[in-house]
Every structure is written in structure tokens, then in C-alpha cells.
Chain A
Amino acid sequence: MTTKKVMVVDDSHTVQALVSSAFANHGFSVICASDGMDAIEKLSMHDDVVLIFCDVNMPRMSGLEMVSEVKRMQKYVDIPVVMLTTEGRPELMRRAKEAGASAWIVKPFKPEQLVAVVKKLVERTG
């Protein structure tokens, strides 16, 4: 059986590990990337990612830039992106929505919230 893959894009290895541990017993494997450019590179190597968690403030390529880039590529357009960030201004949320993000979580988060979001959004998109 193939496990579904979730990607986490965050320059903090602790946040990457926290997201990975959240999905350890839920039938998902987690691909980690450290910034937007790293994420786009890794997406090209894993064509079965079902959802992306993405920080906003990262070196090289920000989360909002990454969402715009990913959503421009036809093969990734249906992958839900959830922003996972310390930012919470409505203006940024509006820009994320326009870029194609599906949800926004302000850190700190509870691991079970991430699992619930994946189940909801992945089920919604089939």
C-alpha cells in the first residue's frame, strides 16, 4: 500500500520534526523542505504529495512566493496549501488566499490540528 505524502516547508528543523511526528501514526509520510525553493525542487521528485504545510517567513523564497509559484504549475494546482506561521495579519491571509492557499494556522499549533486539517482538505479534494 502506498502511503500518502504531506510536505512541510519551514526553516525550523524543530517544526519539521513536530509535523513529522504528528503524522507518524496516521498513515502519512512527511517530506521536509527548508524554504520555498527547496520545496519546489522536492515537489518535482515526489508527485504524490497530497497537501503542503508552509511557513511564511523563510530565507531565499517566502511562503507566499512559493504558493504563487506552485499554483502556477498545472500539475500542482490541486494540492491544498496550509500556511503555518507566526504571522496573522488579515492582509497577509488575503494575499495567501489570492495566491491559492486553503487555510492558515498561527503557531503554536497542536499536532492533532494538522491531522484534522489534512483529513478535511484531502477528503474535500478527493
Chain B
Amino acid sequence: MSNTSGEERWVELAERYVLRCTPELFTAYGMAIEGKTSSRVSFDSDSLVGVAGFVGDVCGILSLRIDAAVVAACHPIQKDAAPNRRMLFDWTSELANQLVGRIKLRLGNHGINFRVSAPIALDGARMRFVGANGHTCRASFDTGTGDLDVWVDAELRKSVTWSEAFFRDDLSDPNVEGTVIFL
């Protein structure tokens, strides 16, 4: 059993799966992305922010700030005309939803379970992210078309007793995305 505290371990797991799952998700939509050293985040008029809240063993939010050009480039419905603003908002919220879902699946392996709210998308102009819970992890990525940033700001529920899986690093990846499972 690790000597790491529950809170330290949670931050470690959150960072690990944000860094792993974000490139996996965008690659699935045909966009290669690379992690970049965190720098000042620009919330300008071209920024969109997808937000998904979650409640359970950990409670908090995942926020995805993303340049509108990136949302348009990875939009799955590619037509002659560029997607309009409403389509970009909808796709931004769905990307946040799919990202939190992908991370949730991996955290579930470690015995961390929670329910995800319906995602929303916001205009990123003049926004600022302020972590409320003090357990924030942030990762920034470059796509070549534009940047994106992911924040997880969440707090462990104090009453939870963690299983051995919470501290294990040798768990196999669920890797079920894109597969059809007949029930």
C-alpha cells in the first residue's frame, strides 16, 4: 500500500488521465495534439468552454477551454460551409462530455465512481478560471490549429474508504471506446 495520501493520489490520478485521455479523444476525431508547457491561458473572443460537473466519490467540474478553430477542425460533420456558432457550442459541450466520460472510465478502475451532469458550453471571452476546491490539475495542449486547456477542479468525499485499486498503477486500460458490445 502506498504512503501517498488520498488527496495526493487523487491529484496524481486526475493529472495522469487528463494527460492521457485528452490526446486520445482528439486523435479519435482526426486531430493530433501535443502537450505543451503550461503558459498563460488566453480567454479571448475565439475561446469556447465546455463544462461538465460530477458528483460522487469526487465532486467537482471538468472544464475544457478550446479555440473555436480547433472545435471547427475536429467537428465530425464536415460540410462545404464551416460549422456555425451554435454547432460549435454544441460540439464543445459534447467534447467535454466525452472527455469526462473517458476519464471516468479509467478512474472507475481505481474504484472512483461519480455521476456526470449534462454538459454545457460557454463563450470564453473574458472568462477566468478560479479553482474552488484546491485540488485543481491543469493541462495545456497544442493542435497546430489552436490551443486547448483542460482543468479538473474537484474534491474527494471525505467519507470514502479507498480500495487497494485506488493506489494500483498496474491496472489494464478499459479501452472500450468505439467498440460494439452486444448485451
Q: Interface on A for B, CB 8 Å cutoff?
A: 11-15, 17-18, 21, 57-59, 85-89, 93, 96-97, 101-110, 113, 116-117
Contacts and interface: CB of A to CB of B under 8 A. Distances in A.
Nearest to A102: B183
Given A59-B118, A107-B98, A108-B28, A14 B180 contact: no
29 contacts: A11-B118, A12-B90, A12-B91, A14-B75, A14-B77, A14-B87, A14-B90, A14-B94, A15-B94, A17-B77, A18-B77, A57-B97, A57-B117, A57-B118, A86-B97, A86-B104, A86-B116, A89-B105, A89-B113, A96-B183, A101-B183, A103-B183, A106-B105, A106-B176, A106-B178, A107-B101, A108-B25, A113-B178, A116-B180
Given A12-B93, A105-B179, 19 more contacts: A11-B118, A12-B97, A13-B87, A13-B90, A14-B77, A58-B118, A59-B118, A86-B98, A86-B102, A87-B101, A93-B181, A103-B180, A103-B181, A104-B183, A105-B181, A106-B176, A106-B177, A106-B178, A107-B178
Contact of B182 (A14, A103, A108, A110): A103
Interface size class of B (residues with CB under 8 A): 20 to 34
Nearest to A13: B90
A117 to B, nearest CB: 6
Contacts, number: 88
A56 B17 CA distance: 22
Nearest to B117: A57
B131 interface: no
B93 to A, nearest CB: 7
Interface string B9-45: 0000000000000000100110000000000000000
Contacts of B108: 89
Interface of B: 25, 28-29, 75-77, 86-87, 90-91, 93-94, 97-98, 100-102, 104-105, 108, 113, 115-118, 174, 176-183
A108 B177 contact: yes
B164 to A, nearest CB: 19
Contact of B101 (A85, A97, A109): A85
A58 B94 CA distance: 12
B77 A110 contact: no
Residue of B75, B94, B98 contacting most chain A CB atoms (<10 Å): B94
Contact of B105 (A57, A59, A88): A88
